Structure 1
């Protein structure tokens, strides 16, 4: 990739302000172009109130040039690639957030950034149940055609990425985007090297707005979280404490006018207090990924009815075809995204509500969408075998549950 003079100037400013969004946009707002801003005298920068550490870097243009040369060399070698905010292949949905990064470093398939994404975030030390729930839900949503976006952290993030990658057919693999809180060349956590390579090798994408060699810092991860929220149509929190950074992602999602989903747990599970707090504050409680699909579908359908001028494409027909965002940056993300173009044909319409009789509630409440076998249900319900089988048959006739491979699960 050969950089134009303006692109080199963008990188120069980004380097000299040390990736400070406020300083960068203050300079661009005043000078109207990166080249003019970079060529300006340090005194002009000082009069604009630019921080003294940025002024010091601006006084050392030879170091800036060396940094840009190193980036250009890495681009030539294929170590990573770049997207600039004024390019047509820059993800449109990021242009809708308050402070879009002027540049994105990435590895992998950047087409993933333009496809419909759902964020999945949560605890770095999730319970075994939360790990399984996260993996299964990510796999389900990825198979339905969504890209799973997360922050490459330990725990829930890793399980979300792995679930999205665990597809049976090669065409469905790689449906995940990882957003880094470090430079694109820094592996953090260190033991996630295999995950990083798996995402890239299987057709996913890893991105960072930070300059190469940027180390992890407590300030870089909230920045990462805003991109996770900004890229996605909605955010799912599978398990989190009240101090979890996942709640930052949830808050940013809500502030961007998107839906937050939270999975409940036992009331004595301190690891899920953040999810319970979110539900209390208005997040949508879910226990099945189909509920996410239905709500996102309904949200997009309502938005299209509210914006009759939206161009609706009906070309999506393959059941596993990736979902795409509309490319026009002139409208908001949701008004820009047609239901028919963002949802593939294999996504089911909302299920009719099933009314479960009171005498079946004990059995029904023990079931989830993972499925449980008869022995597990006998232990949890304390029912006699004939009575349990009778109630399971009744629930199946009502259309409330299915039996698959000897396991009973909600539908």
Structure 2
């Protein structure tokens, strides 16, 4: 692609200028565009005309310094030419169609990676920044399963559940089907946050995924930028899954926005003593769909899209090099071609993903002689000393029973703590 082909049109420069001068304020941007008819006329308007509309004084100050705005646009233009990131405008065909259906679509999107992912059918997975080990594994396995069924897994690039969702979607057996994930940033496209997620960002891009931001380059993390990011996670996706979340989790914002957009919210239940899952239990009480297997998500989403769900045996099981997810708890679907989005209606079209997936496995029955120990375990984890106190068993006997439970696959050990799987 030549530098000329990356040149911004006058209209695009005006959109960028307006977006920059209102500091990515959606309400101010749309007030100006609606009042003046388009971004070019709004940018050319006098400061006094902006003031009469009630535009914030900091925006007025920036509007009084057009030379600084032009310099910022020139820097963005240079970054586009150098390939540091890309830029999509809402009137371009590559702009994600499903975002045009939300109340306040961003007028532009910065991106890194494969932008074609944005117009493929997506399912969001969100949750706690500090999930339990069980939730981490569940999230990873669910994301891997959905990605191999043909969907893109969308999340917010945060620590915890978001990261596990991205990694699960990237953990494909066949390289042809890698990169089925989109990360929505709460910072500028050139600001990696959290800082130690540099490797994750690069992995998503290198494997064919995509990272996007509506915020201007160099925008640092702020408490207000992440809730607005959540509306894009919800807007891009056909449905949202919450795998584990506290009652105060930002994931519940994403769930609420998903519901307000007329889409389905799924939540995974947990033990009633798991305070990390109170948000999921609240969502289920409020009407979210309870799930315990990703095939249930596929059945509901596919039926909404008019796809059938013929069940066939899987031809292979997923494998992962990830530390805690080498033994996926669910059989995998056969990888399929991605599902595209029809821009005119914002709906998924094309061939449905094959549903060659087994039914959820039947529950493992814990032998009677192991029931005492198993019932003392939870999803938080307990060390050996605590279990000796609660079970009143001699250490050799307790260790032996814990090993039996591990072999049954119902107990795992993390950092010297035993917990249910």
TM-score above 0.5:
yes
Change (3 A) 1:161 1:349: closer
Deviation at 1:88, TM superposition (A): 1.0
Looking at structure 2, the residues matched to 377 and 320 of structure 1 have their Cα atoms a distance apart, in angstroms, of 40
Distance 2:137 2:13 in 1: 45
Aligned with residue 323 of structure 1, among 339, 357, 374: 339
Is 1:230 aligned to 2:229, yes or no?
A: no
Q: Of residues 334, 340, 355 in structure 2, which corresponds to 1:347? A: 355
Matches of 2:99 and 2:109 in 1, distance apart?
A: 11
- Match of 1:392? none
Query: SS of the residue aligned with 1:194?
Result: helix
Match of 2:376 in 1: none
**Counterpart for residue 35 of structure 1:** 40
CA pair 186-381 structure 1, distance change in 2 beyond 3 A: same
* Structure 1 counterpart of 2:348, from 312, 317, 337: 337
2:273 to 247, 268, 272: 268
Moved more, 27-36 or 107-116: 27-36
Give deviations 1:275-303, integer Å, cap 9, x for gaps: 0000000000000000000000122229x
Structure 2: any 5+ residue segments left out of the alignment? 1-5, 308-333, 373-406, 411-421
Q: 1:181 aligns with which of 186, 189, 207?
A: 186
Question: Relative to structure 2, which stretch is displaced further, 30-39 or 261-270?
Answer: 30-39
**Distance in structure 1 (CA, Å) of the matches to 2:351 and 2:247:** 33
| Change in CA separation of 1:320 and 1:112 when aligned onto 2, cut-off 3 Å | same
In 1, the alpha carbon distance for the partners of 2:196 and 2:100 equals 33
Instruction: For residue 9 of structure 1, report the CA deviation from its aligned partner.
Output: 0.6
CA distance in 1, matches of 2:367, 2:166: 31
Distance between the aligned counterparts of 1:126 and 1:380, measured in 2?
A: 27
| TM-score, with structure 2 as normaliser | 0.78
Query: 2:409 & 2:252 partners in 1: Cα distance?
Result: 34
Matched residue SS, 2:227:
helix
User: Where in structure 1 do 4 or more consecutive aligned residues deviate above 3 Å?
Assistant: 348-351, 363-367, 376-382, 405-408
Aligned residues: 346
Tell whether 2:159 aligns with 1:154: yes
Written as runs of structure 1 = structure 2, the 5 A alignment for 1:101-112 is: 101-112=106-117
Deviations 1:384-411 (A, max 9, x none): xxxxxxxxxxxxxxxxxxxxx9979xxx
Say whether the 8 Å CA contact 2:121–2:348 is kept in structure 1: no
Please tell me whether the aligned partners of residues 148 and 335 of structure 2 are also in contact (alpha carbons under 8 angstroms).
no
Q: Which has the higher contact order (CA 8 A, sep 6+)?
A: 2
Query: What is the rounded CA distance, in whole Å, between the counterparts of 1:364 and 1:105 in structure 2?
Result: 45
Q: Distance in 1 between matches of 2:162 and 2:351?
A: 24
Q: TM-score, normalised by structure 1?
A: 0.80
CA distance in 1, matches of 2:170, 2:249: 25
Cα distance, 1:229 vs. partner?
Answer: 0.2
Query: Which residue does the alignment assign to 2:79?
Result: 74
Unaligned residue ranges in structure 1 (runs of 5+): 303-317, 355-362, 368-375, 383-404
